């Protein structure tokens, strides 16, 4: 019996450790931009702007404003029904029994005891209604309804204003991404070309066809192209990540490899 209990306890402990070690997938997987190569940037195509605008409508902030609007609409129904509290109904019902116990003693030569007990069951009920006429409720009812309608309109205005600001941010990030993507394509091509030229120059240097000064100059050109590429790449990645956060839309369709999670390799024939 002790061995069975110990075995069960070990199995439960192992299951708990396994559950804690498994990584929890994120709610929204952002693109792993570090894995992109210059060739990936050259072939990159941004989603249409109207698609990003539409996806932004599913942001959690929209649900927040819609919930507030629903609360205000329900409050409007409550304000319209406030007149019902001026009517009051009451009802009461009682049931019970009453007992009377009497005992008399007469002091004489022969004592006489007299005991009398009476009882009666009874029930009673009543029903009533009352109505009050509060003048402030009568004269302010229309005003309160209008105020509540304005609160609903203000909630919608807040949502529209927030969405306009969000669209401006999306447009700014989108235009920046388009501009930086165009620049990056040229920078990526220049980087690839400079790397290829440096490899050719290195081969010619090993063969003795070129001197060290020419090799150093070509290396400097390669480093300059790499720095320009990385600078533009940083600006582009910043714009792409802002687009993903604002629109909740994955820009790069490359899955993120979670640590500790192994993916099956594709079958090869």
Query: pLDDT tens for residues 97-145?
Result: 766 666 665 666 655 556 666 667 777 788 887 777 777 777 888 888 8
Same domain, 141 and 185: yes
Helices (H), the chain: 2-21, 38-42, 49-56, 60-80, 135-206, 212-247
pTM to 2 decimal places: 0.59
* 6 belongs to a structural domain: no
Q: What is the end-to-end Cα distance of the chain in Å, rounded?
A: 53
Domain range enclosing 200? 25-84+135-247
- Residue 258 in tokens: 């979670």
For 233, how many CA atoms within 13 A lie in the half-sphere containing its CB? 20
Name the one residue in this structure whose structure tokens are 């019970």.
96
Same domain, 147 and 236: yes
Mean pLDDT of the chain: 76
Q: Return the minimum-mean-pLDDT range out of 20-34, 41-55, 126-140, 182-196.
A: 20-34
5 occurs within a structural domain: no
Residues 97 and 124 in one domain: yes
Angle of the 135-206 helix axis to the 60-80 helix axis, nearest 10: 180
């Amino acid at each position: 019996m002790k061995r069975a209990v110990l075995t069960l306890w070990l199995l439960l402990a192992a299951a708990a450790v396994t559950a804690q070690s498994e990584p929890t997938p994120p709610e929204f997987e952002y693109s792993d931009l570090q894995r992109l190569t210059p060739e990936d940037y050259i072939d990159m195509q941004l989603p249409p702007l109207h698609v990003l605008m539409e996806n932004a409508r599913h942001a959690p902030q929209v649900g927040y404003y819609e919930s507030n609007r629903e609360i205000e609409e329900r409050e409007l129904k409550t304000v319209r029904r406030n007149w019902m509290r001026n009517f009051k109904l009451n009802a009461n019902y009682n049931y019970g029994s009453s007992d009377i116990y009497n005992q008399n003693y007469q002091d004489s030569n022969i004592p006489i005891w007299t005991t009398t007990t009476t009882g009666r069951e009874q029930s009673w009920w009543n029903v009533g209604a009352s109505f009050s006429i509060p003048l402030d409720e009568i004269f302010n009812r229309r005003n309160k309804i209008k105020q509540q309608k304005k609160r609903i309109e203000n909630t919608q205005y807040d949502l529209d204003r927030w969405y306009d600001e969000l669209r401006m941010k999306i447009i700014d990030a989108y235009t920046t991404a388009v501009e930086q993507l165009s620049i990056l394509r040229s920078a990526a091509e220049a980087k690839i070309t400079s790397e290829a030229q440096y490899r050719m120059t290195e081969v010619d240097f090993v063969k003795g066809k070129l001197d060290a000064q020419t090799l150093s100059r070509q290396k400097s050109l390669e480093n300059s192209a790499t720095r320009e590429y990385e600078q533009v790449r940083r600006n582009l990645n910043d714009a792409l990540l802002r687009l993903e956060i604002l629109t909740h839309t994955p820009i790069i369709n490359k899955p993120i490899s979670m640590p500790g999670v192994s993916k099956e390799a594709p079958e090869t024939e």
